[in-house]
Structure formats: C-alpha cells, structure tokens
C-alpha cells in the first residue's frame, strides 16, 4: 500500500518540456510559467512567494546564462531540479556574487537599498564540469540529470515594489560555451504575465461540509518533517487510525527516494500535519514564534499555509510579519471555516471548503545557533528537537476562552 501511494504521487508530477534551440532568449518563457494563485496553484506553494520556472536539457558544450538583478525583497534564490522535481543544487541570494561595480544587498551588514544600477549579477548553469565562466556557476551532470527545471524565487517584495522586487525579470539565455554575453537586452525583461488572484480568495471563503471521512489526519495531529515524496505520500494516506490497522512489513521504500520534491526550496525546511473536520470544526495550534529578518534574527522567514492535500493548492497562508503574538512571544492560530471562526481569534487561516487539509510550517535560512529550527530536527524527533517552537495543536469543539497564557 505504501508503495502504491508513492506511485500515485510520482504519476502526478509535472512533465518537463523539451529542449530549446541554443542561443535562445528564454526570458519570455520564464514569464509565461510564473506560478499564479489561480492558474498554477500546485505543488504546495506559499502565498508570500513568487515563483518563475523554466525547463533545461543538459546538452554538453552549452550552458544557460542568467543576467539578473538582486530584488528589493526579503529573499531570492535559484534552485535546480531533477525530472522528479527534487532540488539537487541551488544558489541563495547570499551565495550569489555581484558583477563588477555592483554589490550584494543580502550580505550581513550590506546596504539593503542599493540603487538598481549597482545590484547586478550573472549566474551560469553549465553542463560541462570543466567549463567555469564565472563565480556563480552551477554544474548539472548530464548523465545524472539530462532534463529538469530551474526556478527563481522572490519572497516578500519591499513595500511598494512589484512581484519581482522592483527589478524586472532576469534575462535567461541558452547558448554554446564559446558564445559571449547576449548582444542585446531581452524585449521580455519587463514583460509580466497578468496576475490573477480572484478564484483562490473566493475558494478560501467557502464553508463546505461540517465533516468528512476519517482520513487523512488524526484526532491528535502530529507534525512530520518533510523528507521526500514517498514519505509525504505515506503520511498522507496511512498516518491515521485507518492506516494503523493495516499490516506493515516494517520496511519502507522511502529511503530510496532521495530528498526533497514538489519543487521544494533547499533553503527551507518544512513540517506538515493532516487535519480533518471529522475530528472537529476548529483546529487551533500554539508555539513560540522565531524572530525573523535579514539582520541576525533566528530565521530569514517563516510561514504557515493551509493546503488541499490532493490538488496541492494553498487555501491561504500567514507569514511571520502577519502573525500577532502574545506578551511571551507565542502565537495562537485558528484554522476554521468562516462560519466557525471564533470572534476572539487574532490569527486565523481559512480551512477551505474541503473537510481535510495539510498544514505546512516553513523555516528559512536559520541562524547557526537557533536550535529550534526545523532544519535541526530529523523525521520522528520534531517535537523534541523544536521544543517551544513546535506548533502543538488540538481540535476545539467550542470557542475557547482567552487566558493570559494562551489567548484566543
């Protein structure tokens, strides 16, 4: 059964498009495949992140050149994925060296609002191990990953900036190794696919049925660290009272599935739990909030998202700077249908119309001394490792009164 669940997940993965002609400017393609809340809301995205994805074919003697600008934003990165959408290499903003005459605004102590003319970088994805055209070179082994995708992320653009962080899209060119810089700027660099975000908010506001089947989820939810597609599928289908009744050989195939999946970000670590209105109409959880930001805090970023476990769309998310804390620095977050929202709930995520859900908690780029980071936990030790930062939760059958320790 567990093998069957993993097969179902893999069958649902996105297909990788074919190769493109060498020397082609791919900026327009990167624009066309931006993940949009209403049109490409799949693979468990975060509502506070923007994603642009394009395909590659690892042809020896060629490389992909990316002429980019550091965005005015909390974070940016490039991840490279295999055909199963598992990341195997990446460059975070702090790892990307600037072009001559520019500076990296994400480095510790750097000026965050450097003029756009001084924010340029050049990054290469190369398919020849000995070809090293610049300091920001990512090598993809054609024998291991002949095809795949690469993704640009921008999290939380500065106030007043557009979804690119106010700098437009990078120019992405696939070219032979003996070819120099692109001769002209791309006509697509400032082109944006229209943003559509109407269906998702309306979907989140639907109430849906009071209850549902008893799977997925448990009466007392447990958060699991995300490791790979197989383990996520196993938890989704079998981490519940029904799955407890099935025979288990004691051997799991998930150790053979590598790490990552669903276009996961190598700078993030995730824990997730299944929730189900079969066990209650209101789910509430509480934990200590990590500090966040660019200047020595515990994390660069954190968020909670409520997702549909089957179509992988997010219903809604709350990110770090949107969460209200109590006097002790703890959050209390409710997940309910709009009709069941407690009047005293300071932090609320809509459940959505479906009776089930998958809550995902993200931690990004933890400080080396932050022991409560998800990155420090291993599968099965989440609560012990995270301590006060573990989001303990339960189903509330009625509106719970506020108290000094755990305000509603």
Distance from C-alpha of 193 to C-alpha of 185, rounded to nearest angstrom: 19
**Residue 358 pLDDT level (bands cut at 50, 70, 90):** very high
Same domain, 290 and 349: yes
Same domain, 164 and 215: no
**Residue 153 pLDDT level (bands cut at 50, 70, 90):** very high
Specify whether the CB–CB gap between 217 and 278 falls below 8 A.
yes
Distance from C-alpha of 381 to C-alpha of 224, rounded to nearest angstrom: 9
Provide the residue count of the chain. Answer: 408
Q: Which two tokens stand for residue 56?
A: 């590659």
Q: In this predicted structure, what is the pLDDT of residue 196?
A: 53
- pLDDT above 60: residue 405: no
Same domain, 163 and 220: no
- Domain presence at residue 10: no
Distance from C-alpha of 245 to C-alpha of 81, rounded to nearest angstrom: 36
- pLDDT above 50: residue 14: no
- Domain presence at residue 32: yes
- Domain presence at residue 51: yes
Q: What is the pLDDT of residues 103-132, one digit of tens each?
A: 999 999 999 999 999 999 999 999 999 999
Same domain, 37 and 142: yes
- Domain presence at residue 377: yes
Work out the average pLDDT over 140-159.
94
Distances 171 to 26, 152, 187 between C-alpha atoms, Å: 7, 12, 9
Q: In this predicted structure, what is the pLDDT of residue 407?
A: 53
- Domain presence at residue 268: yes
**Residue 403 pLDDT level (bands cut at 50, 70, 90):** very low
Q: Which two tokens stand for residue 5?
A: 């669940």
Domain harbouring 47, CATH code = 2.60.40
- pLDDT above 70: residue 347: yes
- Domain presence at residue 380: yes
- Domain presence at residue 211: yes
Question: Which stretch of DSSP H or E encloses residue 242?
Answer: helix 241-244
Distance from C-alpha of 127 to C-alpha of 222, rounded to nearest angstrom: 42
Same domain, 207 and 165: no
Domain that residue 77 falls in: 15-196
Same domain, 299 and 175: no
> What are the start-end ranges of the E strands in 325-364?
330-336, 348-350, 356-364
Same domain, 131 and 276: no
Q: In this predicted structure, what is the pLDDT of residue 309?
A: 76
Same domain, 211 and 189: no
pTM of the model: 0.87
Least-confidence region, from 2-16, 122-136, 154-168, 342-356: 2-16
- Of 158, 177, 196, the last residue of a domain is 196
Work out the average pLDDT over 401-405.
48
Same domain, 212 and 148: no
Q: Which two tokens stand for residue 69?
A: 């600008």
16-20-26-32 Cα dihedral, nearest 10 degrees: -40
130-136-139-145 Cα dihedral, nearest 10 degrees: -160
Domain harbouring 355, CATH code = 2.60.120
- Domain count of the fold of the chain: 2
- What order do you get walking across the sheet with 348-350 strand by strand? 348-350, 330-336, 282-288, 392-396
Same domain, 190 and 336: no
Q: What is the mean pLDDT of the chain?
A: 85
- Domain presence at residue 249: no
C-alpha atoms less than 13 angstroms from C-alpha of 16 in its C-beta half-sphere: 21
Question: Which of the residue ranges 30-34, 44-48, 135-139 has the most confident prediction, judged by mean pLDDT?
Answer: 135-139
Q: What is the pLDDT of residues 231-283, one digit of tens each?
A: 888 888 888 888 888 877 666 777 777 777 668 899 999 999 999 999 999 99
Same domain, 273 and 309: yes
Same domain, 183 and 299: no
- Of 196, 215, 236, the last residue of a domain is 196
């Amino acid at each position: 059964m567990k093998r069957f669940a993993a097969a179902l997940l893999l069958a649902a993965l996105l297909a990788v498009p074919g190769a493109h002609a060498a020397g082609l400017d791919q900026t327009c393609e990167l624009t066309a495949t931006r993940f949009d809340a209403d049109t490409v809301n799949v693979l468990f995205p975060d509502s506070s992140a923007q994603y642009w994805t394009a395909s590659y074919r690892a042809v020896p003697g060629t490389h992909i050149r990316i002429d980019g600008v550091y965005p005015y934003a909390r974070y940016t990165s490039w991840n490279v994925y295999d055909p199963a959408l598992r990341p195997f290499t990446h460059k975070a903003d702090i790892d990307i060296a600037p072009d001559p005459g520019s500076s990296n605004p994400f480095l510790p102590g750097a000026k965050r609002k450097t003029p756009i003319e001084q924010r340029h970088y050049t990054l290469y994805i190369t398919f020849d191990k000995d070809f090293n055209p610049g300091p920001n070179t990512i090598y993809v082994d054609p024998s291991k990953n002949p095809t795949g995708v690469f993704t640009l992320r921008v999290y939380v653009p500065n106030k007043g900036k557009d979804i690119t962080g106010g700098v437009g899209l990078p120019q992405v060119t696939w070219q032979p190794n003996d070819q120099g810089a692109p001769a002209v700027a791309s006509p697509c660099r400032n082109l944006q696919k229209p943003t559509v975000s109407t269906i998702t908010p309306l979907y989140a506001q639907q109430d849906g049925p009071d209850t549902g089947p008893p799977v997925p989820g448990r009466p007392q939810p447990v958060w699991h660290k995300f490791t790979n597609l197989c383990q996520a599928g196993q938890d989704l289908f079998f981490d519940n009272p029904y799955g407890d009744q099935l025979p288990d050989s004691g051997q799991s195939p998930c150790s053979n599935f590598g790490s990552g999946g669903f276009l996961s970000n190598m700078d993030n670590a995730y824990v997730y739990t299944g929730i189900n209105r079969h066990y209650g109409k209101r789910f509430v959880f509480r934990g200590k909030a990590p500090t966040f930001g660019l200047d020595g805090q515990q994390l660069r970023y954190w968020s909670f998202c409520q997702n549909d476990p089957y179509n992988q769309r997010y219903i809604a998310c709350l990110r770090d700077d949107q969460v209200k804390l109590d006097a002790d620095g703890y959050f209390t977050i409710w997940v309910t249908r709009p009709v069941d929202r407690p009047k005293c709930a300071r932090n609320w995520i809509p459940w959505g119309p479906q009776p089930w859900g998958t809550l995902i908690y993200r931690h990004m780029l933890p400080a080396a001394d932050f022991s409560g980071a998800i990155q420090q936990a291993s599968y099965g030790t989440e609560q012990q490792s995270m301590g006060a930062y573990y989001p303990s939760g339960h189903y509330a059958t009625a509106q719970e009164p506020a108290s000094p320790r755990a305000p509603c």
